[in-house]
Structure 1
Amino acid sequence: MKKLIGPTILLLLIVGACSGNKDIVEPEKQEEAAPVSAEKPINVPLINAEGEKVGEAELSENSKGVVIHVRAEGLEPGKRAIHFHETGKCTPPDFKSAGAHFNPGHKEHGFHNPKGYHSGDLPNLEVNAEGRVDEIIKTADVTLERGKPSSLLDKDGSALVIHAGEDDYVTDPAGNAGDRIVCGEIVKEGN
């Protein structure tokens, strides 16, 4: 009996030490992959000038910024500008209710503008020949965390707007992108 106690204790110490190392390593890997915001992704219905739903966008956030997955149909093929606007209100047909571009840094419009660009400026979408778009856009210029200056979820929310034309990435205030043809309200309960 005494001969078994020594090896049994040694075995338990080895197993305990190995499992202890696992507990130290695993949480670090999980933290790297975890999103910044513990909240679920935000689903944003997208409507056209007639007020009909034409798609949706899903917004989520990770350590590198906000990820926007845009899916829509019934659009004219070609490049289309897409921007975040300052107010979470989409009143058809012109969506002027969404206000100007989201611009907490008070800069000018366009990625190629030497005076900077709006936080709401995003790369153009490519609508395929069937009038559909299914793209993922990433930006580190905004956040979904409440209380931050660059938060899309401030007290009046924000909007995601698709324009009739493409953004030239230079012209202030909207890149000569044309009319607002699709809009989605970015709001969460409690805004």
Structure 2
Amino acid sequence: MNKVVIALCAFSLVFASCKSDKKKEADEETVTEEQVVETKVEVKKIKLAMEPKSDTQVSGNAVFTDKDGQVTVVAVFEGLQPGSHAIHIHEKADCSAPDGTSTGGHWNPTNQPHGKWGAAEGFHKGDIGNFTADENGNGTITFNAGGEWCIGCGDPNRDIVGKAVIVHQGTDDFTTQPTGDAGGRVSCGGIIE
């Protein structure tokens, strides 16, 4: 009889231990699932078509991606004159004027001087910079604005929605005020959600 009692006690201890291990595993799985939910990153994207302006054939597209508070734009163009071209964000998503002037000036919500992105002397929030078109008139630019921009956040100093992308005929010299002496507007696309 004592052997039976001892065997039952041993079985009870093993069963309780297994049950405790299973509960611990279930608790760990729950924590893991909760952590996965907490680490989901919101990604917003806007893709826009770039249309020719100023009697040119410059077209293309731009994709803005806002991931984890960091905004990047990748833009691809064709029909450009070979060489360097400026690209900026302008005040209004209105590409209705044949020369693109309906977009207004450079987007500059903080009233800084025109300059190269990140310059200590200041720069417009729309001062992206220059990119190069190859001998076939094709050009690409990838630009990371970090946390300086957002998509649809409502902050007037950061929100790019309602603005426009403009490609210029020439190169931005980063010093001439307020435009960088970049020349005419050859392509336009509105940043609209």
TM over 0.5: yes
1:46-73 per-residue CA deviation (whole Å, 9 max, x = no partner) reads: 0112586721101111235321110111
Shift of 1:149: 1.6
Shift of 1:123: 2.2
TM-score (norm 2): 0.81
- Asked if 1 retains the 8 angstrom alpha-carbon contact of 2:57 and 2:79, the reply is no
Find the counterpart in structure 2 of residue 181 from structure 1: 186
Where structure 2 has 5 or more consecutive residues not aligned to the other structure, the ranges are: 1-6
For residues 47 and 159 of structure 1, the distance between their equivalents in structure 2, rounded to whole angstroms, comes to 11
Pairs aligned (count): 179
Q: 1:181 to 1:120 in 2, by over 3 A?
A: same
- Asked if 2 retains the 8 angstrom alpha-carbon contact of 1:59 and 1:68, the reply is yes
Shift of 1:134: 2.5
> What is the RMSD of the two structures over their aligned residues, measured on CA atoms?
2.5
1:12 aligns with 2:22: yes
For residues 64 and 122 of structure 1, the distance between their equivalents in structure 2, rounded to whole angstroms, comes to 18
For residues 178 and 58 of structure 2, the distance between their equivalents in structure 1, rounded to whole angstroms, comes to 27
Moved over 4 A (4+): 50-53, 112-115
1:144 aligns with 2:151: yes
Alignment of structure 1 residues 6-155 onto 2, 5 Å = 6-23=16-33, 25-28=35-38, 30-31=39-40, 34-35=41-42, 40-49=44-53, 50=55, 54-111=59-116, 115-140=121-146, 141-150=148-157, 151-153=159-161
Using the TM superposition, name which of 50-59 and 172-181 deviates more: 50-59
Q: Which has the larger radius of gyration?
A: 2
Where structure 1 has 5 or more consecutive residues not aligned to the other structure, the ranges are: none
TM-score (norm 1): 0.82
